[in-house]
Chain A
């Protein structure tokens, strides 16, 4: 909110040091986001009268304007169209420096010389208005101060140097969303006296001419409050014998400083009151209201009203959340036709015009939640709705209405008459709140003991009346303008704010527990370190994808959709890390820096069962989606392929000591989504709970996405090479390029069987090696051979490595030679040749018996 300091001074004698004001507002939580000095640097700007406006050949946006600056005609080129011959406008002559530091010089545009500039209010630093040139009021009353050509603009506008603060008001402080409210808080803080000027009273003869008795409001109009739950208080006052005119200069000026554009005396008075006191009001042209009265009720579904901005609005049509009863509050005329959306925006049909002579002024308190829903439903947020939905002061209504009438009376040359009394219809208003504040509680919550007197000195200046309520307590009456405050803790916050947060002290609580990461969290870090150790950069890819990203990555089936995405590119939740990481790789390939390895640890989102969603919505502890945290690794160094992915997997499993897993090649089961059909495998648990053949059966008809299938099968991940078609879809083809891929469900991986943590003694006697090479058909995996010979070797086996793979396509189709080295040792002796020979024979026999393998000749 833009807050002119001069306006604040209406309520308390604030000093000139802006820094002090700013620092104290900040400390109160009314954060000053900008400080603007206005009215400074306007010395050279004068009032000039427009004498002539002419088109410039070949230019359709600028015109040649001749003005009289008091000393004679001056020619300027101007791009604004909002003024006419005869208007008074601000002229900055050549050499003038405007508040922004812009120096006016002689310019030539489209062959026309310009000897100055006509200025908008924004260019003059007077307001944010840059829609057109500031037209200086010209049709006001005749007087010695009438603006005339040559007069300094500051004199013509009565501008005094002022400071405008841009104050951010938090959503819970409707009371501070006006000049008086900010002044109240700030004055209390600075220990200055604060007073709200009393407007004249209710009597109807305030503006009356010659003492004739004014009509009573209820004789001129009527109000029927049909739905008081939507509108707990509605007041109407009537002003007659009105002439709509420009508002007084000081009113217009303050509105402009506060960022509003003056319109006419009636609308400006309403806006002025709102800015000053925080109470929105709405003036109706009484003569344009059918039946000269109002009805306040819930709109019927589908009912329409054309609002002041000339937009046709349909009411009560779209739920904006649970508990929404779709009841929008409307104001209707006495014939029940809607003439405005209560608390949001008035209607076009009863708008104040130049010929309005009788005004009905609405000042009301609408139910905050009702206004919030209506505003959200219509996507229409106004100065009024923003205030009503936060809660205005139900007791401040009369003051605001009377202030409005007082402002109307301040327009020179008019003599409006206020009808006596007011129509005041009420439902159930929020009841006054009295809070018992325990002095000890204030101290223990703030960590800073405060005396009763100290607490009172914080609360009373901001309108919280306190009285003793026992030895250790105060009875605190919460003022009606503080709807945010209803509990003890809310009052404690007020005390804290006025003591000052920085005066409350700092202390550190001592945790009774030892801080540590969970085993999962520790091992997740180890996992990331292993990945980085293998040369991979950690990335962060978006959880939101385009539907075609899944398609391109070979991922079928349903994904969770975002109902209100920012763009279709980010409209579904990822079910695998593959698409995002392919995009990241593609980005780098495109920049000729695609020789790299990447990894990511992040969540994927399998589509949930309906029942699960319902349980979660019913506040169950289970999450809505069985989110899985995945590790994804893409290997795209020049020699990388499925083999390097498998090696990376081996290194990871080795570091973590994972033993209870095995690979299930993709041709025996379904295939991992997006991976090369003959160079990929599922990584499955091998802890005896499920046989591989059963897992294979489960996978056969599945999507092949780890996150989808891991729950029901024994799958913990996939490893292999990215399908060439997928690479191509992501622009990573490059001919024969191969890219390795590893994706593992981290939580399930870390739950797999682990190597025993017990240390195994190392033999001090020499070990013996035996090398065995077999011809192995492709249908038999290296892992099977490894496990058969390891088992046959028995307890003296220290280690068994696959040390050579040799494929001689010419001699052996469909098979290859696998060479294993077995190292034997005993803890208590050196093994004899015959012992080792015996074991060797056992291994050879087992390989032949169980796998039909023969030693390579």
Chain B
């Protein structure tokens, strides 16, 4: 117990305990601020006591002075402590008040209706995205991307590809003819192959190019065929290009696009513009080669056609087949998308239903 001092100097110890009581009873920061002024301000008992020090004797002045200083420090630290507590409480209360369910916002962005649009991003079309990805794979392998017209002449679409008029092989492509020029001389391209012809006519080899684009065949639409569809073709012309280069390129592309566990195999087929010709199959992506209904239990799914460029085609475009050789391949972009996303019926692509567009 500190001794009480004489001569009007207040009881410092009780001042301190009184002050601490007052501080701890403050429940808001504002209250605390006014308490601080009252306890430590110019008119506070403690300041009063300081002012009275001059009237004391030297020893007494030193002793009381120390007591006053200690008291001030004690009160200050009590204030600081209380301040911290009140700050925390006030922040906690504000946080509670600020509560927001973020899932509301997420859901509103995804819902139709006024005010929610600008934040919702649209979507690139499944087929276009597939095309972009395929382009990227081939660009990574050193190919450029070439494009050409969708309205073609019979010569570019058939003849220069070694398919003369009335050739039975024309039965492989049901063709839409356009009412331009002489009868059946202008058509909607049935494949992207005419771009190969245009490219080889305009560019000296070597050629490493892929040619994506829209094609048309006069097929009644069903789950796996649309009269309008998208194809991508590749063409390589260089010195001593071989069938092994073709097989290796197809393998590299399938692994890059479908994944390392997807492989490819070739088997003989017939196309008038390639010789030897092949169809290529890739590991069924559904059963990973184990066999399922989609792949008729073979583990393989047919993807496209390919082969070594027929010397006759080279002659049509003025490339010497003795000095140059090359390969070409082609397959459906829509078919790739269908495989990867397991779309049961291609016809859904024609509707442009927002429920589909926003989903895949």
Contact = CB atoms under 8 A, between A and B. Distances in A.
Interface residues of B, number: 100
B275 A538 contact: no
B243 interface: yes
Interface residues of A, number: 107
Interface string B101-145: 000000000001110011011111101100010010011111111
A158 to B, nearest CB: 32
Contact of B128 (A540, A541, A623, A639): A540
A505 B244 contact: yes
Contacts of B352: 537, 539-541, 584, 587-588, 598
A507 B244 contact: yes
Contacts of B90: none
User: Most chain-B CB neighbours within 10 Å: which of A323, A540, A596?
Assistant: A540
Given A535-B122, A539-B125, A507 B245 contact: yes
A561 B179 contact: yes
Nearest to B272: A172
A513 interface: yes
Contacts of A625: 149, 151
Interface string B184-201: 111010000000001001
Given A489-B311, A562-B176, A376 B166 contact: yes
Interface stretch (A452-460, A515-523, A790-798, A827-835): A515-523
B268 A621 contact: no
Nearest to A591: B353
A100 interface: no
B208 interface: yes
Given A489-B310, A509-B238, A513-B144, A535 B121 contact: yes
Nearest to B276: A493
B118 A324 contact: no
Contact of A562 (B166, B179, B252): B179
Given A447-B245, A518-B145, A613 B186 contact: yes
Contacts of A638: 113-114, 117
A537 B123 contact: yes
Contact of A566 (B220, B240, B275): B220
Nearest to A601: B128
Contact of B185 (A445, A518, A617): A617
B278 to A, nearest CB: 6
User: Most chain-B CB neighbours within 10 Å: which of A487, A507, A570?
Assistant: A507
Interface in B56-84: none
Contacts of A390: 168
Contact of A501 (B188, B267, B354): B267
A192 B74 CA distance: 110
A551 B208 CA distance: 44
User: Most chain-A CB neighbours within 10 Å: which of B148, B165, B352?
Assistant: B352
A703 to B, nearest CB: 19
Contact of A518 (B144, B180, B278): B144
Nearest to A616: B153
Given A487-B311, A510-B142, A533 B176 contact: no
B282 interface: no
B167 interface: yes
Contacts of A27: 267-268
B251 A516 contact: no
Interface in A501-555: 501-502, 504-518, 521, 525, 528-529, 531-544
B285 to A, nearest CB: 20
Contacts of A113: none
B318 interface: no
B214 interface: yes
A563 interface: yes
B155 to A, nearest CB: 5
Nearest to A581: B352
Given A487-B311, A493-B275, A515-B208, A508 B245 contact: yes
B151 A605 contact: yes
Given A624-B180, A638-B114, A26 B140 contact: no
A515 B270 contact: no
Contacts of B168: 171, 368, 372, 386, 389-390
Contacts of A598: 352, 357
Nearest to B154: A322
A841 interface: no
A29 B267 contact: yes
A173 interface: yes
B346 to A, nearest CB: 11
Given A487-B311, A595-B113, A502 B265 contact: yes
A454 to B, nearest CB: 16
A588 B353 contact: yes
A501 B266 contact: yes
B178 interface: yes
Contacts of A319: 183
B240 A444 contact: yes
Given A501-B266, A541-B352, A543-B150, A513 B208 contact: yes
The 5 closest A-B pairs by CB, nearest first: A29-B268, A511-B142, A447-B244, A447-B242, A321-B165
Interface of A: 26-29, 31, 170-173, 319-324, 368-369, 372-373, 376, 386, 389-390, 444-448, 487, 489-490, 492-493, 496-497, 501-502, 504-518, 521, 525, 528-529, 531-544, 560-566, 570, 573, 584, 587-588, 591, 593, 595-599, 601-603, 605, 608, 613-614, 616-617, 619, 621, 623-625, 627, 637-639
Given A489-B308, A508-B249, A518-B145, 5 more contacts: A322-B185, A504-B244, A532-B123, A599-B122, A603-B214
25 contacts: A172-B272, A372-B167, A445-B243, A487-B311, A493-B268, A496-B243, A496-B276, A501-B276, A505-B247, A507-B244, A513-B206, A514-B142, A515-B143, A515-B208, A535-B117, A535-B122, A539-B125, A539-B352, A540-B127, A563-B177, A588-B352, A601-B128, A605-B151, A616-B181, A617-B181
